[in-house]
């Protein structure tokens, strides 16, 4: 006959409801504020959001932003949304408001040469680390858009479609997108002919034609198949087709 494991039974009996860790309550009505509110109620604030712009572009930098929003900022930025859903004019209007109302924000750019050297995904992760380090304050928790970021000094959570889910990530997406778009407009002045001010370095038919005619510039990412094809003298149609494949694989932001 097998003896009953009485010690294990007693141990289970001592686990009461009051001994469990507190469970955050997620309220759907909070909208983009839901995740941050739950983390802050659990004592894990302030919460930083991190997002990038330019991952799918074949020219120009990869730009990453981190942002910590205080309670007052959420009320003042009630119309904040994923930067992809906002018009360029609305993003430009929100940009200075986010900078003014945020408890802390940081924007970093990784140039095309570094993207080529370490790869776009590694560059994205590294950019997120640098952006968090540049906040000038220690957040209690970090929410990242889509990617797990190892090596952060505080707990973090990747959030799928985070820029449409968490206000701090949405704010970071606006900071990253506007900052990068402005850089691309400046590049269009120093490196004319490619149309950077229009397509912002993303793969379009006009961009493919310009790369074929002029060859890739110093701001193009040579590790991207369409850029390498343009350098090799392939036709604009072939370059354009490869560019669409690169955007699909890397993401279009």
- Edge-first strand order for the sheet with 102-110 is 102-110, 62-69, 47-53, 141-145, 156-159
CA dihedral 185, 188, 189, 190 (to 10 degrees): 120
**What would you measure as the largest C-alpha separation in the chain, in angstroms?**
87
| Rounded CA separation 64/62 (Å) | 7
At a CB cut-off of 8 Å and minimum separation 6, what does 167 contact? 31, 32, 33, 36, 49, 69, 74, 77, 80
Helix (H, G, I), strand (E, B) or coil at 165: coil
Q: Is 81 a known ligand-binding residue?
A: no
Is 145 known to sit in a ligand binding site? Answer: yes
DSSP string, 170-214: HHHHHHHHHHHHHHHHHHHHHSTTS-HHHHTT---HHHHHHHHHH
Decide if 24 contacts 90 (C-beta within 8 A).
no
| Closest to 194 in 3D by CA, of 182, 209, 177 | 209
Q: How far is CA 130 from CA 52, 147, 232, in A?
A: 12, 15, 35
CA distance 245 to 251: 10
Would you give the end-to-end CA distance of the chain in angstroms? 66
* Length in residues, the chain: 253
Report whether 79 belongs to an annotated binding site: no
Q: Which residues contribute to the annotated binding site?
A: 51-52, 145
Q: Which residues contribute to the annotated binding site for a divalent metal cation?
A: 51-52, 145
């Amino acid at each position: 006959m097998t003896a009953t494991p009485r010690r294990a039974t007693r141990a289970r009996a001592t686990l009461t409801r009051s001994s469990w860790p507190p469970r955050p309550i997620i309220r759907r009505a909070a909208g983009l504020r839901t995740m941050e509110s739950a983390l802050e109620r659990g004592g894990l604030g302030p919460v930083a959001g991190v997002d990038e712009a330019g991952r799918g572009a074949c020219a120009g930098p990869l730009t990453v932003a981190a942002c910590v929003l205080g309670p007052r900022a959420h009320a003042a930025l009630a119309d904040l949304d994923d930067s992809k859903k906002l018009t360029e004019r609305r993003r430009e209007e929100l940009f200075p408001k986010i900078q003014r109302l945020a408890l802390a924000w940081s924007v970093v750019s990784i140039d095309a040469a570094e993207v080529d050297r370490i790869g776009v995904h590694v560059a994205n992760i590294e950019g997120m680390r640098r952006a968090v380090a540049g906040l000038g304050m220690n957040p209690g928790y970090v929410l990242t858009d889509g990617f797990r970021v190892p090596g952060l000094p505080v707990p973090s959570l990747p959030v799928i479609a985070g820029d449409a889910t968490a206000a701090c990530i949405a704010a970071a997406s606006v900071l990253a997108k506007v900052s990068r778009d402005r850089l691309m407009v400046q590049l269009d002045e120093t490196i004319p002919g490619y149309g950077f001010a229009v397509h912002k370095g993303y793969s379009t038919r006009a961009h493919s034609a310009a790369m074929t005619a002029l060859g890739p510039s110093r701001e193009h990412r040579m590790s991207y198949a369409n850029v390498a094809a343009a350098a090799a003298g392939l036709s604009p149609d072939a370059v354009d087709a490869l560019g669409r494949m690169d955007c699909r694989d890397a993401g279009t932001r």
